[in-house]
Amino acid sequence: MLESHQPKIQQRVALVIQYLGTHFHGWQRQPNHRSVQEEIEKAISKVLGHHVTLHGAGRTDSGVHAAAQVAHFDATGKIPAEKWAKILNSYLPKDILIRASARVDPRWHARFSAVYRRYRYTLYTKELPNLFVTSFSWHYYYESLDESLIQAALKPLIGRHHLAAFHRANSGRKHSWVDVQAAECYRTDPFLHIEIQANGFLYGMVRLLVGMLVQVGSHQMAIAHFTDLWKEQRREEVKHAAPPHGLCLLRVGYPDTPFPQEVWYDTQPKFIFSH
């Protein structure tokens, strides 16, 4: 805790955060459930001696991981911004890690200054199960998946679209418009990866989207039918969401990113199996 006789210096501190979502009820603080936001706020409060609100770039659902979530808080005291990462890691549980911290302009905002968020969904397609990948991928081996079909289905999504078909209920968002900036599907055997980048995401969007894309990739649904489904906003036909543990918030982009690229750009490792 800072001593009262120290001069009070106000600064805005940005954090790059990794967490394993398995035992969290999502990012956002909520009563009676463990959340990433609350755990970090408690750690900050132990250092400063009073409650501080942590503002995240986006909300991840229960069970979803993050390789480079970004958040900020305002601190009063003499602790240099770049020291906060190491300090907080000494207080945080083992399933949260602050990769770096930096001082930012008081007008900079983790959520509102961001120009994109990018998610990666990973599927493990080998029939033989593997304990070391089950926490980070959807074990989908029931049918073979054609990544070229999934890639073709993703292509029309790029641009500004009304994606109410992939918008779960109970969201506070008043509209379903999303600017999809990039979308790709690729394979690193035996894993299939789907990455989506957009200015923002609807509640449950990526998991609902992946749930439908596997039907395309397994030849259960034609690409044309998939495209018509979301263009015509036929939400009632979207019945299955992919499980949360295969999803990871890969990174958040800013026009004035306060961190070097190696801290935040592509920090979710990909499993590589030798044959």
Instruction: Give the closest residue to 270 by CA, choosing from 244, 250, 252.
Output: 250
Q: Outline which parts of the chain fall under CATH 3.30.70.580.
A: 10-104
Q: Which of 61, 74, 95, 256 is catalytic?
A: 61
pLDDT in tens, 72-104: 999 998 999 999 999 999 999 999 999 999 999
- Inform me whether the pLDDT recorded for 156 exceeds 80: yes
- Inform me whether the pLDDT recorded for 274 exceeds 90: no
**Per-residue DSSP letters for the chain?**
---TTSPP-EEEEEEEEEE-GGG-S-SS-BTTB--HHHHHHHHHHHHHSS----EES-PPPTT-EEEEEEEEEEEESS--GGGHHHHHHTTS-TTEEEEEEEEE-TT--TTTT--EEEEEEEEE--SS--TTTTTTSEE--SS---HHHHHHHHGGGSEEEE-GGG--SS---S--EEEEEEEEEEEETTEEEEEEEES---TTHHHHHHHHHHHHHTTSS-HHHHHHHHHTT-GGG---PPPGGGEEEEEEE-TT-SS-HHHHSS-SPPP----
pLDDT in tens, 39-81: 999 999 999 999 999 999 999 999 999 999 999 999 998 999 9
- What is the pLDDT, as a whole number, of residue 275? 58
- What is the pLDDT, as a whole number, of residue 171? 59
Give catalytic status of residue 266 as yes or no: no
- What is the pLDDT, as a whole number, of residue 239? 87
Q: Outline which parts of the chain fall under CATH 3.30.70.660.
A: 116-253
- What is the pLDDT, as a whole number, of residue 5? 52
- What is the pLDDT, as a whole number, of residue 173? 65
Is domain 116-253 given the CATH code 3.30.70.660 in the classification?
Answer: yes
pLDDT in tens, 160-191: 999 999 998 765 667 889 999 999 999 998 99
Mode of pairing for the β-strands spanning 247-253 and 177-188: unpaired
At the second CATH level, the architecture of 10-104 is 2-Layer Sandwich (3.30)
- pTM to 2 decimal places: 0.94
Return left, alpha or beta for 120; rule: phi > 0 is left, psi -120 to 50 is alpha, else beta: beta
Question: Using CA atoms, how far apart are residues 250 and 118, in angstroms rounded to an integer?
Answer: 5
| Mean pLDDT confidence for 216-244 | 95
pLDDT band, very low/low/confident/very high, at 112 (cuts 50, 70, 90): very high
